Amino acid sequence: MISIVAEGIGFGHIRRCMRIARELEKTDEVEIITYGKAADVSRQGGFETKNLGIDFSLRFGKKNIDIEASAFDYIMKVNFPVISKLHRQFRRDRPKAVLIDSSVSALVASKLAGIKNVAYLANQTDFSNFPAFTMVKKSARYLGRQVAQIPKVVIVPDLPPPYSICLKNLDFHGKREKFRFVGGIANRYPKGSSSKKAIAFGGEEDGGILDELGQTGLKMQTASKALASRYKNLELKEDFEQMASAAGIIITHGGHTTLMECIISGKAIVGIALGGYAEREANLGQIAALGLGERLEPGFVNKKTLEFAFQSALKKGQESALLRRFAQSFDGAKLAAGIIRDEVAR
């Protein structure tokens, strides 16, 4: 049995873990361990799924997400329960290999359970800018040491430097030889129509940006019922994958999996990061630096700036065709599965 532990916040982690699981299933028995809505997605995908039963929601201020309060809640409500529950489960199941997506607490649980064959999948290994640790630098260094010391390999679902979208979020912690860059582990959609624009986030991860987009009056599509009900210019498309397939322009808050999907699918990218979300701000900064898309600032999104961003993103999409073809040359899920079989599970 190979166990895959997927972070349960958002859907990017579970989507890429499911793609790797599909590859691993060709030769091995696989289970996915996660929590929240990600567990439902995994089950719907047909995978043997174990739900850790953890309840976590982001905290909000008057308008925006309270990043520091949410980070503190995550430590208390997710990190400690994950260590306890996974430690027991690993000791009981004794998997021959474990892939852990972006959960340092799961790494600690694997170490406590004596699991040696561990791979870590992540697009962030530098925690110095993580809000909960801005005042506790020793904790940030501790997290980094666990990422460097516990797993046999660290799989980065991105292009190799200097073309990595997550480049500013990486720290090798003196263990560069452990890192494997496999390219995007993401869905590849049709290029879509430049006349269709899709908002690729919603629900809790709002931060007031969604209202700014709605107030522009420009025609866009969203998978958020609440948002579509507030603004007549926003068309509801409940099936996210169908919406993403048809759109030629994607508006994103900078989630790594969504950005990789846009790059390999030839989508124009307009990024608007949530304030204080350092990891996503860094992702979008790299998107802009590599000429792959446009980045707008929250609080300054209006009809005029958004129309220009759409035009500029389409132009940059054409100009970055060579880099996008390079990204398309990687089969990230297949490469990651091969590394797990050959370097971790043996």
User: What is the token pair recorded at 42?
Assistant: 């995994």
pLDDT at 136: 52
Say which residue, 101 or 70, is predicted with more confidence: 101
User: What is the token pair recorded at 5?
Assistant: 């532990």
Question: pLDDT tens digits, residue range 128-169?
Answer: 766 555 555 566 677 778 888 899 999 999 999 999 999 999
Is the distance from CB of 109 to CB of 82 less than 8 angstroms?
A: yes
pLDDT above 70 for 83 = yes
Phi, psi of 93 (to 5 degrees): -85, -30
pLDDT above 70 for 234 = yes
Q: What is the pTM of this model?
A: 0.91
3-state secondary structure of 42: helix
pLDDT at 227: 82
Q: Indicate the range of 192-206, 219-233, 254-268 predicted with least confidence.
A: 192-206
* List of domains in the chain: 2-184+330-344 (3.40.50.2000), 193-328 (3.40.50.2000)
Say which residue, 257 or 274, is predicted with more confidence: 257
Say which residue, 96 or 127, is predicted with more confidence: 96
Measured distance CA(92)–CA(82) in Å, rounded: 15
Strand order in the sheet with 30-34: 49-51, 30-34, 2-6, 97-101, 118-121, 153-156, 179-181
Question: pLDDT tens digits, residue range 8-63?
Answer: 988 899 999 999 999 999 999 999 999 999 999 999 999 999 999 888 777 766 65
pLDDT at 203: 54
pLDDT band at 220 (very low <50, low <70, confident <90, very high): very high
With b for 16 or more beta-carbon neighbours within 10 A and e for fewer, the 80-104 pattern comes to ebbbebbbebbeebebebbbbbbbb
pLDDT band at 121 (very low <50, low <70, confident <90, very high): very high
pLDDT at 131: 58
pLDDT band at 97 (very low <50, low <70, confident <90, very high): very high
DSSP string for residues in 67-124: HHHHHHHHIIIIIHHHHHHHHHHHHHH--SEEEEES-HHHHHHHHHTT---EEEE-S-
pLDDT at 319: 94
Largest CA distance in the chain: 58
pLDDT at 206: 54
Nearest 5°: the CA angle 24, 11, 219 is 130
pLDDT at 325: 96
Tell me what the mean pLDDT of segment 226-238 comes to: 89
Q: How far is CA 143 from CA 34, 53, 88, in A?
A: 20, 24, 21
pLDDT at 283: 96
pLDDT band at 209 (very low <50, low <70, confident <90, very high): confident
